[in-house]
């Protein structure tokens, strides 16, 4: 999509709040230095955030010889945000304060077969009710609820157009949720949730161009380009999992063959393990989480089958990530989601070596490859961030023409 002056104003508003969250308390002068924006622009944006109650004045600091500088900080109790991670086998809901600290959490298990939209919505509503109740008075001031669903979504209409795991087609998920949840709702998918979580709170902070590689049951790449999320013309960019790595290779549920996902998604890793040792005791048939966890423990114990499985997986992953480096030339590639978290440093080391074998020298020298530093569920955090962005967008519109003094 085309970028407008309005988009830039919104992005600047995001960046100032991001910086305040990262370094509270802070002065307008420090914010200007950290963001590269003019002091006047920062002052206007800080005024908007104060108006909304998202930040608060917390006193003054001396400036050498000059007049004291006003300090602002996140107004942690200025409202709450809810992030919903609808995954294949569970629903996780977290409630955050405005510093994006988790105040309450609720998990609902979904048994196989419980995949009708009404059943999933029921679990979400129950978990949202639970976190609001746990948070007590705090829970009453929910500014918005971000919902991540694994599939292709239309953000504007709130329709989940396709969710491969449950074979959902054109499910009006936001309308269904709105029957149970009275707060503003924002729908997107885990790819973009993880990308926005890294952009606000993780390894992509301050990067113009970043790729957040999501390694779970499915895989994908959330793209941060030009300082913002790249969504594409129909909000479906990032389907790296269905780019071809091996023409005519392993069959994929998308109907194609040789997709990246079939080699590095959790079921693909199980297949890599089976190819190394068909009778490996690490294999828990039908249970991805148990298998990946067993694999991680065996790697830590220097088990040769486990090491070879990670090496093979990294070989595929390295070729696929080198494609992203050659095509997009990002500053950073972040490995995110539960498979990356489980296999951690040993996977990262092998991946770095494999990428170096495949990528061109010039794009690669500009690129760092790191594990996600986010300690909690990045999908919940990212979904809550969508709600935060939604709240910031509406305040921007309301107070847009207001002038704020720079003192």
> Given the rule CB under 8 A, which residues bind a copy of itself?
1-5, 8, 11-12, 36, 152, 161-162, 208-209, 221, 223, 225-228, 230-240, 242-247, 249, 254, 256, 316, 319-320, 322-323, 326-331, 357-358, 360-363, 365-367
- Please report, to the nearest 10 degrees, the dihedral formed by the alpha carbons of residues 335, 163, 153, 94 taken in order: -60
Q: Which among a copy of itself, Zn ion, none contacts residue 357 (Cβ within 5 to 8 A by kind)?
A: a copy of itself
Nearer to a copy of itself, 64 or 247 (CB): 247
Residue 259 lies near Zn ion (rule: CB under 5 A): yes
Q: Which helix (H) or strand (E) holds 214?
A: strand 210-215
Q: Which of residues 235-254 bind Zn ion (CB under 5 A)?
A: 242, 252, 254
Nearer to a copy of itself, 119 or 165 (CB): 165
Nearest approach in angstroms of CB 380 to Zn ion is: 26
Q: Which among a copy of itself, Zn ion, none contacts residue 252 (Cβ within 5 to 8 A by kind)?
A: Zn ion
Nearest approach in angstroms of CB 362 to Zn ion is: 13
Q: Which among Zn ion, a copy of itself, none contacts residue 4 (Cβ within 5 to 8 A by kind)?
A: a copy of itself
Burial class (CB in 10 A: 0-12, 13-18, 19+), 40: middle
Three-class SS state of 252: coil
Nearer to a copy of itself, 77 or 331 (CB): 331
Q: Please, are residues 108 and 143 in contact by the beta-carbon 8 Å criterion?
A: no
Distances (CA, A) of 284 to 257, 294, 393: 25, 9, 46
Nearest approach in angstroms of CB 244 to Zn ion is: 8
Q: Please, are residues 225 and 392 in contact by the beta-carbon 8 Å criterion?
A: no
Total residues contacting Zn ion by CB under 5 A comes to 5
Angle (CA) 202-203-209 rounded to 5° is: 120
- Rg, Å, the chain Cα set: 22
Nearer to a copy of itself, 310 or 328 (CB): 328
Q: Which helix (H) or strand (E) holds 109?
A: strand 102-109
């Amino acid at each position: 999509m085309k970028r407008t002056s309005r988009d830039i104003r919104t992005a600047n508003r995001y960046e100032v709040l991001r910086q305040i969250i990262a370094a509270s308390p802070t002065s307008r002068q420090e914010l200007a230095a950290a963001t590269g924006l003019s002091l006047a622009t920062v002052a206007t944006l800080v005024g908007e955030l104060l108006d909304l109650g998202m930040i608060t004045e917390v006193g003054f600091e001396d400036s050498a010889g000059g007049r004291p500088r006003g300090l602002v900080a996140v107004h942690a109790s200025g409202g709450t945000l809810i992030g919903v991670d609808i995954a294949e086998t569970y629903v996780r809901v977290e409630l955050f304060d405005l510093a994006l600290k988790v105040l309450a959490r609720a998990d609902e298990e979904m048994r196989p077969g419980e995949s009708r939209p009404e059943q999933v919505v029921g679990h979400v509503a129950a978990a949202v009710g639970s976190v609001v109740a746990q948070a007590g008075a705090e829970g009453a001031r929910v500014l918005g609820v971000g919902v991540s669903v694994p599939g292709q979504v239309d953000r504007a209409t709130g329709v989940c157009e396709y969710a491969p795991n449950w074979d959902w087609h054109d499910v009006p998920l936001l309308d269904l949720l709105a029957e149970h949840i009275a707060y503003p709702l924002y729908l997107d998918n885990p790819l973009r949730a993880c990308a926005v979580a890294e952009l606000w709170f993780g390894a992509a902070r301050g990067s113009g161009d970043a790729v957040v590689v999501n390694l779970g049951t499915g895989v994908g790449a959330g793209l941060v380009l030009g300082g913002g999320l790249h969504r594409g013309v129909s909000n479906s960019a990032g389907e790296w999992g269905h780019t071809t790595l091996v023409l005519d290779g392993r069959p994929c549920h998308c109907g194609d063959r040789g997709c990246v996902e079939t080699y590095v998604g959790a079921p693909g890793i199980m297949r890599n393990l089976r190819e190394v040792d068909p009778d490996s005791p690490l294999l828990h048939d039908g249970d991805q989480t148990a298998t990946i966890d067993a694999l991680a423990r065996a790697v830590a114990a220097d088990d040769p089958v486990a090491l070879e499985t990670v090496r093979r997986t990294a070989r595929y992953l390295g070729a696929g990530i080198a494609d992203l480096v050659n095509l997009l030339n990002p500053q950073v590639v972040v490995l995110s989601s539960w498979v990356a978290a489980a296999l951690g440093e040993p996977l990262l080391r092998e991946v770095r070596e494999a990428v170096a074998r495949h990528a061109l020298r010039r794009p690669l020298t500009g690129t760092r490859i790191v594990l996600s530093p986010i300690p909690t569920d990045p999908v919940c955090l990212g979904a809550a961030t969508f709600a935060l962005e939604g709240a910031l967008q509406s305040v921007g519109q309301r107070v847009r023409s207001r002038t704020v003094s720079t003192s």
